[in-house]
Amino acid sequence: DPETLVARMKAFGFTTETLQFMLIPLIHEERDPLGSMGNDSALACLSDQPRLVYDYFKQLFAQVTNPAIDSIREEVIMSLECYIGPEANLLEVSPQHAHRLRIPHPILTNEELAALKHIDHRGWTSRTIDITYGLHDEDGGLVATLDRVCREAEEAIDEGHSLVILSDRNVGPDRVPVSALLACGALHQHLVKVAKRTRIGIVVESGEAREVQHHCLLIGYGADAINPYLAFEALWQARRDGLLEEAYDTDEKIVAAYRKGVAKGMLKVMGKMGISTLQSYKGAQIFEAVGLNQQVIDRCFTGTASRVQGVGFEVLEAEGLRRQALGYPPPGTIDEPGLPNPGEFHWRAQGERHGWEPEAIANLQVAARNEDVEAYRRFARHVNEDAHRRCTLRGLLKFKEGGAGGPIPLEEVEPASEIVKRFCTGAMSFGSISAESHETLAIAMNRIGGKSNTGEGGEDPQRFHPLPNGDSKRSAIKQVASGRFGVTIWYLTNADELQIKIAQGAKPGEGGELPGRKVDENIARIRYSTPGVGLISPPPHHDIYSIEDLKQLIHDLKNANPSARISVKLVAEIGVGTIAAGVAKAFADHIVIAGDVGGTGASPLTSIKHAGLPWELGIAETQQTLVMNDLRSRVV
C-alpha cells in the first residue's frame, strides 16, 4: 500500500541514507554499492540512535590458512542454489531424500513467496507465523513473542507442515515487529536443541531485511530463503518518483536487478571465508557480535563469540519501540514527513556520532595551515575526550593511577624528535590517492625520520633518487599485496621494510579495487598493467594457502633484501592471535593488526561497515596469545 509505505519504512528503520547509499546504487550498479575512506561512526553498542540488531555483528573472514576465494575470477565454483525443507534420514538412501524444494536464489520474489504460502503439493504444506506483537498486549513483548514463535513452529512440525514462514506483514499502529534476525535465530536454535530443525524449512517474509549484510546474517543464522518485500516496495516507489534510471521501467526489472546485486554481494561475503556454496554458509554463524550480552547470544545466536557484553532484550525491545513510534507516532506527537536521516554514513547535526566531526577537522586544518598550537590542542582535546569516548572501545579505557610504577621524571622521557621516528603512514596506494599526496607523505615522513608506506600500487623508480634539496620521495615501507602491482626486484631492494598485506581493515577478505577510469598511463606504467582497465586484486595471495606458504614468501623477501624488516599485516577478528603466532613462527620481524575502520579508495559498503573487529580486541588477543606461547619477544 503506497499510502502506508513511509510509515512502514520508518517502523523498520529505513532512512534516506538506506535509499541513497544502499538500495538505489545496488539497482544501478547491480552489485554491492561501493564506498571510500573508512568507517568513523560509533559502534552500535555505543550509539545513541536506535540501531538494528544486524549492526551489532561483524563478518569473519579467512586469513592465511583456508584462504578467501576470489568470487569474481572463480565464479564457476560459486553457487547460491539450495535445497530446503524436511530432510530424510542421513544414514539411509531412498527416493524420499530427493523430495525437497530447489531454490536457485535465496531472495524470493513476492510471487514465489505467495506460491509457498499456498503450497499444497505432494504432501507439502506451509504455515505462516506472525512475528509482530500488540503494542498494548499485557502478555506481549519481545521475549514473549519469541516464545510464541518457537511454540507455534513446533506445532507446525507436529502437524506435518514442510515450511514455516516468519512474517511481519501485520506491522501497523498497534502491532510492533520483532526483528526478523532475532525471530529466525531464536527459532533455529530452539529447533536444534529439541532435535527438530531438519524436519522443516524456515522462510522469512521481512520488511526489515534489505542490505547484503542483513541477508547474510539471516542465512547464517538459519533462514532458508528471504522475501524482502518492503525493499521491493521502496524501490518501486523510487521508480515512480523518478529516482531510478530509465532502463528500470518495470517492477520486474527492479526486482531482477536487486536480486542480481544481492547475489554478487552475498557471494563476495561467502568468498571472504573461503566458502563457495550457500549450502555450506547456511547456519554456519560466521560472525562475531560486538556489544550483545550473553542472554541474547544464548537464546538467539548460540555459540557466537561476543567478547564485549552489552545490550540485552530490554534495550533491543526499547529500540524497536522507538522505531515504531517514528512510523506510527502516538497521539499528540508530531509526525515528521519523509524518512529520517540519522547520519550513519555522512555526519549530520543531532545525528549519529562520528570520530571525524566538522569541529575536529576545522581545528586540525587551522593547526596545519597556521602552525597554530592552540588549534591543535583543541583538536586533540575534542578527539581524545569527546569523539573517541562516544565512538570507540579505547575511549572507554583510562590509565590506572600508579600503574607501571607511577610517573617518571620528564628528563627521562624521550624527546619528540625521537618519538616521531616510530610514526608510519597508512598504506595508501598511488592511484587511490594522487601522486602529489603520495609523494608529500613520503617527504614528510623522511624529514622526521618516520616511515611512509607505498600501499599495494607500487612506486615510481624515479622516487628512489634524492631530490637536489636533500629531500627524498622514497617510501621506506614497500607493500607486497595479492595483486603484486609494481613488485620488482628493484622495488624490493629499495625498502627499509617489506610488508606482506594479508588483509586490509576496510575490506578484509577482499582485494584492492581501482576503477578503470583512474588507471591512466602513469599508474598503468608503475603497476605494469593496461591503461583504462580496472584493477581488482584477488582476495587471496595465490601463492599462500597455508602458514608454510607464507613462511616461504617471508624467506624469499629476506633473500631479495637481507637488510629489510619483514612485516605481515593482519586484521582483527576472533582467532587473529593464532594466525599471529604462526606468522611469528614463520620468522616475520613485525606484525601489524589493523582494525575495522581503516581507509580505502574503493570498497563495498558492506565491508566498510560490517567486516573486521576493532583493533583494540585484535591487539589484546594477539598480545596474550604471543605471550602464552613464548613468542612475544620474536616480533615487534
Q: pLDDT digits over 21-72, tens only? A: 999 999 999 888 888 777 888 888 888 888 999 999 999 998 887 788 888 8
Angle CA(331)–CA(333)–CA(337) in degrees, nearest 5?
115
Are 57 and 286 within 8 A, CB to CB?
no
217 and 99, same structural domain? yes
Q: Are residues 523 and 606 in the same domain?
A: yes
Same domain, 98 and 138: yes
The answer, yes or no, to whether residue 3 has pLDDT greater than 90, is no
- pLDDT above 80: residue 438: yes
Contact 227, 204 (CB under 8 A): yes
Whether 271 is covered by a domain: the verdict is yes
217-246 pLDDT, tens digit each = 999 999 999 999 999 999 999 999 999 998
CB-CB contact of 11 with 326 (8 Å) = yes
Same domain, 484 and 613: yes
Q: State residue 588 phi and psi, 5-degree precision.
A: -70, 155
Do 454 and 361 lie in a common domain? no
pLDDT of 616 above 80 = yes
Query: What pLDDT score was predicted for residue 488?
Result: 93
End-to-end CA gap in the chain: 60
Q: Are 196 and 50 part of one and the same domain?
A: yes
Torsion angles phi and psi, residue 93, rounded to 5: -130, 120
Which residues lie below 8 Å from residue 19, measured CB to CB, with a gap of 6+?
Answer: 234, 238, 243, 339
What count of other Cβ atoms lies within 10 Å of the Cβ of residue 77? 10
**Residue range 289-303: average pLDDT?**
94
- Looking at the fold, whether 456 and 602 belong to one and the same domain comes out as yes
Identify whether 552 is part of a domain. Answer: yes
In a domain, 308, yes or no: no
Please check the confidence at residue 512 and state whether its pLDDT lies above 90: no
| Grid coordinates of 121 | 503439493
Answer yes or no: do 373 and 243 share one domain. Answer: no
- Please state which of the ranges 124-128, 342-346, 519-523, 623-627 shows the lowest mean pLDDT: 342-346
Asked if residue 139 lies in contact with residue 133, where contact means CB atoms within 8 angstroms, the answer is no
What is the per-residue pLDDT across 137-170, written as a single tens digit (0 to 9) for each? Answer: 776 789 999 999 999 999 999 999 999 999 999 9
Is 293 inside any structural domain? no
The structural domain count of the chain equals 3
Residue 533 lies in a domain: yes
Q: What number is the average pLDDT over the span 78-85?
A: 94
Specify the pLDDT at position 476.
95
Which pLDDT belongs to residue 389?
Answer: 65
Is the full-model pTM beyond 0.85? yes
Between strands 603-604 and 34-35, the pairing is antiparallel
Same-domain status, 387 and 420: no
Burial (0-12, 13-18, 19+ Cβ within 10 Å), 170: middle
pLDDT digit string, tens, across residues 466-475: 999 999 999 9
Q: Which three cell numbers stand for residue 259?
A: 536480486
**Co-location of 224 and 167 in the same domain:** yes
The CATH number of residue 562's host domain is 3.20.20.70
Instruction: Say if 275 falls within a structural domain.
Output: yes
Instruction: Evaluate whether residue 43 is within a structural domain.
Output: yes
pLDDT of residue 541: 87
Query: What are residue 41's DSSP bridge partners?
Result: 354
Grid coordinates belonging to 313: 532484550
Per-residue confidence band for 537, with pLDDT thresholds at 50, 70 and 90: confident
Binned at pLDDT 50, 70 and 90, residue 432 comes out as confident
What pLDDT is attached to residue 386? 67
The three-state secondary structure class of 453 is: strand
Once rounded to an integer, what is the mean pLDDT over residues 567-578? 93
Structural domain boundaries enclosing 194: 2-283+314-327
Name the β-bridge partners of 292: 311
Average pLDDT, the chain: 91
**Residue 101 three-state SS:** strand
* Beta bridge pairs of residue 464: none
- Percent above pLDDT 90 for the chain: 69
- Mean of pLDDT values over 501-522: 84
Residues 439 and 376 in one domain: no
Residue 366 shares a structural domain with residue 498: no
Q: Rounded to an integer, what distance in angstroms lies between the CA atom of residue 259 and that of residue 253? A: 10
Return the pLDDT at 132. Answer: 95
pLDDT of 598 over the 80 cut:
no
Q: How far apart are CA 182 and CA 258, in angstroms?
A: 24
pLDDT at 387 over 70: no
Which one-letter DSSP state was computed for residue 400? P
Q: What is the pLDDT of residue 212?
A: 95
Lowest mean pLDDT among 76-80, 87-91, 159-163: 87-91
Q: Contact 226/110 with Cβ under 8 angstroms? A: no
pLDDT at 628: 96
Residue 374 within any structural domain of the chain: yes
The sign one gets for the Cα dihedral 289, 290, 296, 297 is positive
Helical H runs in 94-164? 110-117, 142-158
| pLDDT score for 608 | 86
From residue 233, alpha-carbon distances to 204, 238, 239, 252, 279 in Å are 16, 9, 10, 12, 29
Percent of the chain with pLDDT over 70: 99
